[in-house]
């Protein structure tokens, strides 16, 4: 409810926006607080989100993502596609056309050679570029003329929107960075701290790990933007104090990543100086069911492998009953507040890939009990725990150490107790749980438990690699040193076949249909993965700052040029 009112408020303020930012630099100063301080403005030299995002105020890519995960043009006239010929039929090249007349903040023109140089800068083997993954598979980048860039790939690339797209791969000015290639990259402190860019702001003063003082870029392509004449980005502190600086004291206009507990959120909202905005990406907190038997009585090497199917959870009725017993809305309310929403999908976003699967959202305790009865699990000895053939319906439920996860464990344990399932809880230190050490019995891959809970997401906007994690051959086994993403040991030839089809399919609509079907096969059709909460980003902005739209696919400051002061 609160989220909706916040969004409505944002929409309403947006409607009045045009009147508010009629001219550049009329709205004074905007103060932004990052709880992690900025150490460089050059996204290629840091994998820290804070550096990439603050850098995006100055440096821009050719195209970015909007809040729905769609590609939007920034420095180009249109987004290349198969239809307009920008993407070659064989998917091996993509051609970008720059908007004519663009200028760097020093007044010199932006050309295709800058883009070519940027690719050369990041792909230099001696440079240690932090964003090299975005330039993967590139054969060459060339300038066909001053305004046309062509990227050729060695292999067909179904998703070519990696290089020069998004805040992690901005265009650098060739003239400024020419001498900073390779090993010299980190020695160019002046260029890295005060890059010349095309973004709405330019750096006036840069204090490492402290503050960045910026002013409006006089050469910005939209003469009416940005509305703010100056901007200050301050770093340091923690999420709670950052939220407080916006919500209670009003010292700052915007605070980045203010993940705090729902109770504290509510208390701060009462301050009346600001509001929280949330954006939802692909991070889903879920319960994974073990399809293999993790019993310690089995010999090492056979324990938790496909040789021994799980004695209880192999039955889909049990898995469905466990999912039905959970009230996801309450979990959201207790754990995340505005920063979460209940979901039944493994792939909850981008919108086009999200299945309309909402069947799990209503808790159905009676239905769960009926399903267990039907599966033959009855409480024959009257001790409140169901049993079948002398075996108790008892599960070991593990997760990593985290205050919210332990709360979830306690609540879900009670819900499962209510339907007659005995639950033993276990929490493992996060560095061990996610450590992937094949020698430790407590990793999430080894999965020496019946059910486990954690969160995972995928990078970018295409879910194919993510869905590919659940094929038969990705199951962790002793032979693979317990590496592999298919921790449930889910194995369905139909799924593998459909995934192969997804890999072959082009065209986003057709891909979306298949991806949704794959998502449903894992969730509502098999209940092997039981999604609980879609965890979003939560940031805070002052009531007087307008135009904020939180974006989880690109920099949070992606539309800072549209921000304005509400008077």
Partner 1 sequence: MTDTTPATAKIRPPRSQWWDVWDQFKTHKGALVGLSIFVLILLAITIGPFLWDMAPTYVDLRARNKGFSAAHPLGTDQLGRDVLARMMAGGKVSISVGLTAMMLSIMLGTTIGVLAGYFRRLEGPLMRLTDLFLALPLLPLLLLMVTLFREPLSKSFGPERGIFLLIVFAIGATSWMQTARIVRGEVLGLKEREFVLAARSIGTPARRMILRHVLPNVLSPIMVSATLGIASAIITESALSFLGLGFPPDFPTWGRLLYDAVDQMQLYPWRVILPGVAISLTVLSVNYIGDGLRDALDPRIRGR
The residue (of 156 and 441) whose beta carbon lies closer to partner 1 is 441
Is residue 441 within the footprint of partner 1 (CB under 8 A)? Answer: yes
Looking at residue 452, the DSSP 8-state letter turns out to be E
The residue (of 330 and 361) whose beta carbon lies closer to partner 1 is 330
The answer to whether the beta carbons of residues 40 and 193 sit under 8 Å apart is yes
The interface with partner 1 within residues 401-440 (CB under 8 A) comprises 401, 403, 406-407, 409-411, 413-414, 424-429, 432, 440
Q: In the complex, what is the shortest distance from the CB of residue 488 to partner 1, in angstroms, rounded to a whole number?
A: 22
The residue (of 409 and 559) whose beta carbon lies closer to partner 1 is 409
* Token pair in block for residue 430: 């996060």
Provide DSSP, 461-507.
S--HHHHGGGSGGGS--TTTTT--S-TT----HHHHHHHHHHHH--S
* 17, 79, 264, 498: which one binds partner 1 (CB under 8 A): 264
Q: In the complex, what is the shortest distance from the CB of residue 263 to partner 1, in angstroms, rounded to a whole number?
A: 6
Q: In the complex, what is the shortest distance from the CB of residue 514 to partner 1, in angstroms, rounded to a whole number?
A: 39
The interface with partner 1 within residues 383-402 (CB under 8 A) comprises 400-401
Q: Which of 449, 74, 434 is nearest to 294 (CA)?
A: 449
Q: Residue 383: which residues within 8 A CB-CB, separation 6 or more?
A: none
Among positive and negative, which fits the CA dihedral 483, 484, 490, 494? Answer: negative
* 28, 272, 296, 301: which one binds partner 1 (CB under 8 A): 296
Is residue 330 within the footprint of partner 1 (CB under 8 A)? Answer: yes
Q: In the complex, what is the shortest distance from the CB of residue 1 to partner 1, in angstroms, rounded to a whole number?
A: 18
- Distance in angstroms (rounded) separating the CA atoms of residues 494 and 473: 14
Burial group, residue 198, by CB count within 10 angstroms (0-12, 13-18, 19+) = buried
Token look-up 């310690």 returns 296
Q: Which of 393, 364, 395 is nearest to 378 (CA)?
A: 393
For Cα atoms 77, 79, 84, give the angle at the middle one, nearest 5 degrees. Answer: 95
The residue (of 204 and 330) whose beta carbon lies closer to partner 1 is 330
- Distance in angstroms (rounded) separating the CA atoms of residues 539 and 555: 12
The residue (of 231 and 423) whose beta carbon lies closer to partner 1 is 423
The answer to whether the beta carbons of residues 162 and 179 sit under 8 Å apart is no
Contacting range for partner 1; rule: CB under 8 A; set: 19-27, 210-218, 261-269, 345-353:
261-269
* 13, 120, 267, 314: which one binds partner 1 (CB under 8 A): 267
Q: In the complex, what is the shortest distance from the CB of residue 453 to partner 1, in angstroms, rounded to a whole number?
A: 12
- Distance in angstroms (rounded) separating the CA atoms of residues 104 and 550: 27
The residue (of 78 and 266) whose beta carbon lies closer to partner 1 is 266
Q: In the complex, what is the shortest distance from the CB of residue 403 to partner 1, in angstroms, rounded to a whole number?
A: 6
The residue (of 230 and 427) whose beta carbon lies closer to partner 1 is 427
Q: In the complex, what is the shortest distance from the CB of residue 428 to partner 1, in angstroms, rounded to a whole number?
A: 5
Among positive and negative, which fits the CA dihedral 106, 111, 112, 116? Answer: negative
Is residue 334 within the footprint of partner 1 (CB under 8 A)? Answer: yes
Is residue 263 within the footprint of partner 1 (CB under 8 A)? Answer: yes
Q: Which of 449, 394, 388 is nearest to 420 (CA)?
A: 394
Q: In the complex, what is the shortest distance from the CB of residue 239 to partner 1, in angstroms, rounded to a whole number?
A: 11
Q: In the complex, what is the shortest distance from the CB of residue 386 to partner 1, in angstroms, rounded to a whole number?
A: 20
Binding site for partner 1 (CB under 8 A): 261, 263-264, 267, 296, 330, 334, 400-401, 403, 406-407, 409-411, 413-414, 424-429, 432, 440-442
């Amino acid at each position: 409810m609160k989220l909706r009112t916040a969004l409505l408020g944002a929409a309403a303020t947006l409607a009045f926006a045009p009147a508010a930012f009629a001219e550049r630099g009329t709205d004074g100063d905007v103060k932004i607080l990052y709880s992690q301080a900025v150490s460089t403005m050059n996204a290629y030299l840091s994998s820290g989100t804070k550096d990439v995002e603050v850098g995006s105020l100055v440096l821009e890519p050719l195209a970015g993502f909007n809040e729905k995960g769609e590609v939007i043009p920034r420095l180009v006239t249109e987004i290349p596609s198969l239809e307009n010929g920008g993407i070659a039929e064989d998917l091996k090249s993509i051609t970008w056309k720059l908007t004519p007349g663009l200028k760097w903040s020093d007044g010199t023109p932006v050309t295709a050679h800058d883009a070519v140089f940027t690719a050369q800068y990041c792909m230099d083997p001696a440079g240690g570029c932090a964003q090299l993954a975005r330039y993967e598979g590139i054969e060459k980048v060339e300038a066909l003329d001053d305004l046309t860039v062509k990227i050729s790939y060695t292999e067909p690339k179904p998703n070519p929107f990696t290089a020069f797209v998004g805040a992690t791969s901005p265009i650098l000015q060739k003239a400024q960075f020419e001498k900073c290639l390779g090993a010299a990259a980190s020695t160019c402190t002046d260029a890295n701290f005060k890059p010349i860019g095309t973004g709405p702001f330019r750096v006036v003063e840069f204090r490492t790990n402290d503050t960045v003082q910026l002013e409006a870029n006089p050469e910005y392509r939209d003469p009416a933007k940005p509305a703010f004449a100056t901007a200050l980005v301050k770093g340091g502190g923690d999420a709670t104090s950052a939220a407080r600086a916006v919500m209670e004291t009003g010292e700052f206009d915007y605070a980045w990543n203010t993940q705090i507990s729902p109770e504290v959120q509510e208390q701060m909202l009462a301050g009346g100086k600001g509001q929280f905005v949330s954006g939802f990406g692909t991070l889903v907190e879920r319960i994974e069911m073990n399809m293999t038997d993790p019993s310690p009585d089995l010999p090492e090497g056979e324990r938790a492998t496909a040789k021994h199917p799980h004695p209880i959870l192999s039955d889909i009725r049990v898995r469905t009953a466990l999912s039905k017993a959970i009230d996801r809305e309450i979990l959201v309310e207790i754990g995340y507040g505005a920063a979460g929403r209940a979901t039944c999908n493994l792939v909850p976003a981008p919108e086009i890939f999200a299945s309309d699967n909402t069947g799990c959202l209503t808790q159905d305790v009676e239905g769960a009990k009926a399903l267990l009865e039907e599966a033959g699990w009855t409480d024959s000895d009257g001790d409140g725990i169901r049993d079948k053939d002398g075996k108790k319906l008892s599960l070991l439920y593990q997760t990593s150490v985290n205050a919210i996860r332990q709360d979830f464990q306690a609540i879900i344990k009670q819900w499962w107790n209510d339907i007659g399932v005995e639950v033993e809880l276990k929490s493992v230190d996060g560095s061990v749980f996610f450590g992937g050490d094949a020698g430790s019995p407590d990793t999430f891959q080894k999965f020496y438990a019946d059910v486990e809970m954690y969160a995972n997401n995928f990078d970018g906007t295409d879910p194919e690699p993510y869905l590919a994690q659940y094929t038969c051959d990705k199951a962790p086994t002793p032979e693979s040193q317990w590496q592999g993403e298919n921790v449930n040991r889910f194995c369905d030839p139909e799924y593998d076949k459909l995934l192969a089809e997804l890999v072959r399919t082009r065209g986003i609509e057709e891909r979306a249909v298949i991806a949704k079907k794959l998502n449903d096969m894992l969730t509502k059709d098999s209940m092997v993965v039981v999604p609980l909460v879609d965890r979003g980003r939560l940031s805070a902005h002052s009531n007087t700052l307008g135009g904020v739209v939180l974006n989880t696919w690109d920099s949070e400051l992606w539309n800072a040029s549209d921000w304005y002061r509400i008077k």
